[in-house]
Structure 1
Amino acid sequence: MSQYADIAEQLRERLGALLERAEVIEDDLRHPLDDDWEEQAIDLADDEALEGVDEVLRAEIAQIRLALLRIENGTYGTCSNCGAEIDRKRLEARPIATRCIKCAA
């Protein structure tokens, strides 16, 4: 069992929740536009905001998937910049961290 099994479980739970939210947003974005021009303008403005939220979700999803991959291949917890071990407390606070606190500063 990996020393980061608990963090991996938290990441998988977060990933599941984000994927569900992203699916809801994508469903909302697929709706047909109303015939009314004013309603279309409102819908397009709403869609633009939703697209921004979707981009943020997709970026976090990608970061979580990469963190899970690092756990799987044994590189999780190693700073990508200096190669030092990332403090466990940092990983618990920010499980997608790729750099130690010194390199992140």
Structure 2
Amino acid sequence: MKEYEEVRDQLLNMLEELDDRLGKITDDVKHTDNPLTQDFSEQATETENDEVLDALGNAARDEVEKIKQAISRIDAGTYGICLGCGEPIKKERLAVLPYANLCIRCAERSSPHH
């Protein structure tokens, strides 16, 4: 679909940025720059930082997956259609969240806060 070519490029750019970020996070977690400190309190702080970096890495990996699925939907011609109800997803929602696969109504229904 011609109309989503720009969105597809935007999603590909997002993927590249996330890949970069994931690479940096992975390097930080592996302590490629410097090994863990000998000092116990510093080691505890570094371990805590690793857990935060791990969580960030998981969130980034989730986002990568959502972006890849959105690109697949563009390629398949199903992008912009809600997976819940089959209705079109509002363009405003896609502008803010280009990998959205649910319309706002279905997203709110599946949200754990409701």
Counterpart AA for 2:21? R
Counterpart AA for 1:5? E
Residue 99 of structure 1: SS of its match in structure 2? coil
Which residue of 2 is the match for residue 65 of structure 1? 68
Counterpart of 1:47 (choices 38, 50, 72) is: 50
Counterpart Cα distance in 2 of 1:85 and 1:18: 27
Counterpart AA for 1:79? C
Deviation at 1:63, TM superposition (A): 0.8
Are residues 1:92 and 2:85 paired? no
Counterpart Cα distance in 1 of 2:75 and 2:90: 18
Runs of 4+ in 1 over 6 A off after TM superposition: none
Give me the TM-score of the superposition, normalised by structure 1. 0.90
Which residue of 1 is the match for residue 112 of structure 2? none
Aligned alpha-carbon RMSD (Å): 1.4
**Which residues of structure 2 form unaligned runs of 5+?**
109-114
Deviation at 1:62, TM superposition (A): 0.9
Alignment identity in percent?
A: 40
Give me the TM-score of the superposition, normalised by structure 2. 0.83
Counterpart Cα distance in 2 of 1:103 and 1:43: 40
